[in-house]
Structure 1
Amino acid sequence: MWRQTSLLLLVLLLSANQCVNCQCVPGDTCKAPDCRCWDDPSIPGGLTAAETPQVVLISFEYTVNKGNVDLYTKLLKGVTNPNGCQATATFFVQEVNTDFSVVKTLYDEGHEIGMTSSDGIIPSDAAEWLATFQLMKTKITDVFVPEDQVVGSRAPELSVGGDDQFAAIEQVGLSYDSSCSSSEYAYRDNMLWPYTYDYIYRTPKCTIGRAPESAHKGKWQFLVANLRYNEQNCATLSACSPFIKSSQDAFDMLFESFSNHYEGSKSPFVLYIDPLWLSVDYQYEGTRQFVEFVRSGFGDTWFLTTQQSLAWIKEPVTSDKAIDFKSWGCS
């Protein structure tokens, strides 16, 4: 009996030590700028919400070519940020049917180029994730997009590939992913800032696919908080499309989601838009109205790339100094 009790105490002590080693402690086991705990409630730099610029991250995925690029770019045409620079977006491109000369033009205009799988199909294992990301990095850099500017990924259908995907992210030299959608962390009082996978203890689960179960040092996740409209909960705009009947409906859904960020901790508003959403006239009109309204009515709000947002998270400045923040300047 004594021996069994001693063994049990030893197991408990070892478990406690392991838990200490796996816990993410801001400023202790996890230090800025290259590590951030998922449950850290503070704003980067210790800023208050009033001091923090609100960032909107519009992103597109899959095929980009001359036949559809105008559908994307007209959404931000003529829209400028508080520093006078053109509003920008992030394109997570695939190989199939993509015109990479158009991709280069988008990059030259200040947009960010990231990657999804080469064919828009979810890879089935680690080897497929690695092969598709290696191919995509080659395709993008072959048109003279600098390799050090290709740093982001998104899984097809927001279906996160867990450790298989993040092993590929590490091997290909990417910095972040923006695939993990969440219906849990999608409310004003619990919106999450982007976090790293240095520690994976109790990190958020993803609504689709699977989050990593092993640590991936310095690799960031830009969580996609679900949208809500009329008691519906949607990972993407198109998923809510059946409930949207007018441009006013589209505007209201977008503005409600924006307000949850703006009136909360000012965490980045990740907005994933696909061509099906924009191809419906009243949905495009409502989205454009949202962009114009936010930029005209909220002087501390910026439409940026994911990479620009990450640069601020690593080196935060107050909203009144953001106009001079180098990473947010014009290309």
Structure 2
Amino acid sequence: MSPSLIASFFALFLGCGAAKTDFRCPEEFGYYAHPTECSNYYVCVFGGPLLESCTGGLVYSHDLQTCDWPRNVACNSNRNSVLDESIGIALDSQKDEKSKSNRTPRKQNNNKQEQVFNLPKPISRETEGVGVDDEEEEELLSLSPQPSIVSTVTHGANNRNTLKTSQDMEEEEEKEEKEIERRIETIQEEILRQTNFGDVLFGSRTPAKEPLPGDPPVNSSSLEKSLLAGYPGVPTVLDDSQDTDPIDSFYYVNWEDPIYDQFDDYGERLDKGEEAAGEDGEEDKGGPQAGSVWIDHEIPQRPSKTHPQGPEPESSALPCNEQRCTLPDCRCGGSDIPGNLSVRDTPQLVILTFDDSVNDLNKQLYQDIFHTSRKNPNGCPISATFYVSHEWTDYGLVQSLYSDGHEIASHSISHSFGEQFSRTKWLKEMAGQREILSGFAGIKLEDVRGIRAPFLAIGGNNMFSMLYDANFTYDSSMPIYENRPPSYPYTLDYKISHDCMIPPCPNKAYPGVWEIPLVMWNDLKDNPDTTLTPQVFVEPPVTMSNCLPKVLRVYYMIMKNFQRHYSTNRSPFGLSYHPAWFTTPHHKEGFDLFLDTIISMEDVWVVTAWQAIQWMRDPTPIQNIDTFKPFQCVYKERPPRCEKPKVCNLWHKSGVRYMRTCQECPDIYPWTGRTGIANSRVDPL
């Protein structure tokens, strides 16, 4: 597709309006829960709200600032709406004759002028259209926070206009009180008898009663179905045995797991005496911390320097000296094409990256994107960089991605905001995750060359000092506003040449450490948009026009920004995503359309971040790019795909976590400061 043809597509659509969200960011940067939807949350970037959603039935946790299992999050928005509807049904028996469902919510009578309750007519099974059976009536009563009010609906209210003596009234009141007490006891017994939400899925601490003959199956009520409907991707039944494809069942906590006998209520490991009889009474010291898995500890190295001259590490960064800063070791920031190549001779590199955990929730997505039919011009499959965070990651899948030729980089262990981290804390997070990737995904330490800070919250000199000392080759966390023409990657030998968009940025020299900047995107009206870096490109329709089909809006949005790179200086074009973005169908379809467009172009290469840096160190023209060694696809030294992983059940945060790997299982759940690696060089710090 020619540049002029691509550009002509956009000229037809630049006059359309833009849609906005009503949410207002409390601060310029941060993650905030959606006010009504448990599975949605907002990412605020420069004060602009971007709507993102959790996948696979997860809900947003304000405490963790990431998605978590519903059982761990106190989010009641969906539940409250169900309760409100149910209470409304119980308090108002005026059935809408046109409604076919006895679950239709109705308005309550809240007349503020009368300071009395206007009790509705009694619920009658003979009333036309009501149809509340015994099971549903008990269910509604058990949901009500005020059983005394609900219970009065079922008795005595129909005679309230009859004249009675004071003695009759006292006797009736006494009967009502006894009836209320009886109903409360019945409701409490029913609640205890019934299976709680999640007991079937995760296992109950108390033995469940055997079902009686004729009892309805678990999860038959419409209330449970409506709750489950609020979690897309979750099976429609709570009982996993009825799930036809429980692909993520290994993540679920099983309360009957014998591992609970090895820990006390505070997560401390019991010694054998306490485990057997609980008579010892001595405090445990927290269990093993050194770890049990050994890794091949070749010290990772950046590419060796050809020219020894340059600034001293951690000296004050000076403006870049182009006479002294030369490739392959040093590169000044800017938009100049390296190697004095012309635009026509420069290959257009596309750096495709994904952030966060790798597991069954995104396994199919990656299989679809990296279909074997999608290849670079030399016949090798397209590849990407995965910035992997630890929690919820399936290291068997990570090993398979690495075996297939993708790059694996560090995205920290705990996935926390790091702008206030010390150098040691950065080291434990990033180098610790590098050791975990090596120990449980079989990745060579020297192949984990790059990092990306969670939330793009870089840590200034502390973070980049860690990068230099731990021999990481590059970072890709700094957004850059200047995009006309876009910037190329550069080294941190000298002062950064662009504004610091998310402080603190480094102001010292770190020779040989590369920065792959996240170049700002423009909206469809060609205006620079501070909410649209590729890393936080979450929901294009927020800033784009509504006059195009949704799929084309996504396609044109990506293509327009690609065109700005391709038609100017051909600096590497970044596509940085969280897997959750693809759960919206038109996002995935628009992205696929874009990807299939560019792989048909003979001068476009979809590569990893490390491959892009290797090209930067040795700029090779299109005429010779087919034989450029870093772009070949020979991975004989990498481990095989992990086809039959083992499941390691490990204690973490007062619960059990299940971690899959084709390597040895650790004795402890890997975490910051205790990676489970026996010969860790990070844990003792």
The TM-score bracket by the shorter chain reads: 0.7 to 0.9
Give the match for residue 344 of structure 2: 50
Q: Deviations over 1:66-119 (max 9, x none)?
A: 221222342232210000000000000011111111111101101000011212
Helix, strand or coil for the counterpart of 1:247? helix
Give the match for residue 303 of structure 1: 606
Give the match for residue 196 of structure 1: 491
Q: Are 1:111 and 2:406 matched, yes or no?
A: yes
Q: CA deviation at 1:136?
A: 0.5
Q: Could you tell me how far apart the structure 2 residues matched to 1:259 and 1:88 are? A: 21
Alpha carbons 1:133, 1:172 under 8 Å: kept: no
Q: CA distance change for structure 1 residues 72 and 229 in 2, over 3 Å: closer, same or farther?
A: farther
AA aligned opposite 1:24? C
Give the match for residue 271 of structure 1: 575
Q: Could you tell me how far apart the structure 2 residues matched to 1:168 and 1:122 are? A: 16
TM-score, normalising length: structure 2: 0.43
Q: Could you tell me how far apart the structure 2 residues matched to 1:273 and 1:302 are? A: 18
Q: Could you tell me how far apart the structure 2 residues matched to 1:286 and 1:90 are? A: 21
Q: Equivalent of 2:467, from 169, 192, 212?
A: 169
AA aligned opposite 2:574? V
Alpha carbons 2:385, 2:407 under 8 Å: kept: yes
Helix, strand or coil for the counterpart of 2:344? helix
Q: CA deviation at 1:218?
A: 0.8
Q: Are 1:125 and 2:421 matched, yes or no?
A: yes
How many residues in Structure 1 have an aligned counterpart in Structure 2?
Answer: 304
Q: Are 1:85 and 2:380 matched, yes or no?
A: yes
The answer for unaligned runs of 5 or more in structure 2 is 1-316, 635-685
Give the match for residue 452 of structure 2: 154
AA aligned opposite 1:323? D
Q: Could you tell me how far apart the structure 2 residues matched to 1:277 and 1:243 are? A: 16
Q: Could you tell me how far apart the structure 2 residues matched to 1:156 and 1:76 are? A: 25
Q: Deviations over 1:230-269 (max 9, x none)?
A: 3444122215453456110000010011111111111101
Q: Deviations over 1:152-175 (max 9, x none)?
A: 110111222221211121222110
Q: CA deviation at 1:122?
A: 1.7
Give the match for residue 330 of structure 1: 633
- Trace 1:12-91 onto structure 2 (pairs within 5 A): 22-26=318-322, 28-39=323-334, 41-77=335-371, 78-91=373-386
Give the match for residue 538 of structure 2: 238
Q: CA distance change for structure 1 residues 241 and 63 in 2, over 3 Å: closer, same or farther?
A: farther
Q: Cα RMSD (Å) of the superposition?
A: 1.6
Q: Deviations over 1:280-330 (max 9, x none)?
A: 10011000100001111x210000001111111111111121111110001
Larger fraction in helix: 1
Q: Are 1:137 and 2:398 matched, yes or no?
A: no
Helix, strand or coil for the counterpart of 2:369? coil
Q: Could you tell me how far apart the structure 1 residues matched to 2:345 and 2:508 are? A: 35
Give the match for residue 157 of structure 2: none
Q: Could you tell me how far apart the structure 2 residues matched to 1:31 and 1:326 are? A: 22
Deviates more, 1:257-266 or 1:61-70: 61-70
Alpha carbons 2:540, 2:554 under 8 Å: kept: no
Helix, strand or coil for the counterpart of 1:67? helix
Q: Could you tell me how far apart the structure 2 residues matched to 1:198 and 1:64 are? A: 34
Helix, strand or coil for the counterpart of 2:514? strand
Helix, strand or coil for the counterpart of 2:379? coil
Moved >6 Å (runs of 4+): none
Q: Equivalent of 2:508, from 189, 194, 214?
A: 214
AA aligned opposite 1:53? P
Alpha carbons 1:55, 1:267 under 8 Å: kept: yes
Q: CA deviation at 1:186?
A: 2.1
Q: Are 1:186 and 2:186 matched, yes or no?
A: no
Q: CA distance change for structure 1 residues 68 and 226 in 2, over 3 Å: closer, same or farther?
A: same
Whose RCO is larger (CA < 8 A, sep 6+)? 1
Give the match for residue 6 of structure 1: none
Q: Deviations over 1:197-246 (max 9, x none)?
A: 1011x532342343211111111111111222234441222154534561
Alpha carbons 1:205, 1:211 under 8 Å: kept: no
Q: CA distance change for structure 1 residues 254 and 92 in 2, over 3 Å: closer, same or farther?
A: same
Alpha carbons 2:461, 2:505 under 8 Å: kept: yes
Q: Could you tell me how far apart the structure 2 residues matched to 1:241 and 1:178 are? A: 26
Helix, strand or coil for the counterpart of 1:141? helix
Q: Could you tell me how far apart the structure 1 residues matched to 2:369 and 2:341 are? A: 31
Sequence identity percentage: 29
Q: Equivalent of 2:621, from 297, 318, 322?
A: 318
Deviates more, 1:209-218 or 1:304-313: 209-218
Alpha carbons 2:541, 2:553 under 8 Å: kept: no
Q: Deviations over 1:10-59 (max 9, x none)?
A: xxxxxxxxxxx923222x221210100013x4312111111010000010
Helix, strand or coil for the counterpart of 2:552? helix
Q: Could you tell me how far apart the structure 1 residues matched to 2:409 and 2:541 are? A: 26
Deviates more, 1:172-181 or 1:162-171: 162-171
Q: Are 1:229 and 2:523 matched, yes or no?
A: yes
Alpha carbons 2:540, 2:557 under 8 Å: kept: no
Helix, strand or coil for the counterpart of 2:511? strand
Give the match for residue 4 of structure 1: none
Helix, strand or coil for the counterpart of 1:160? coil
The answer for unaligned runs of 5 or more in structure 1 is 1-20
Q: Could you tell me how far apart the structure 2 residues matched to 1:251 and 1:121 are? A: 32
AA aligned opposite 1:137? R
AA aligned opposite 1:173? N
TM-score, normalising length: structure 1: 0.87
AA aligned opposite 1:140? L
Q: Equivalent of 1:280, from 554, 572, 584?
A: 584
Q: Could you tell me how far apart the structure 2 residues matched to 1:219 and 1:241 are? A: 37
Which structure's CA Rg is the greater one?
A: 2
Give the match for residue 13 of structure 1: none
Give the match for residue 102 of structure 2: none
Q: Could you tell me how far apart the structure 1 residues matched to 2:582 and 2:464 are? A: 30
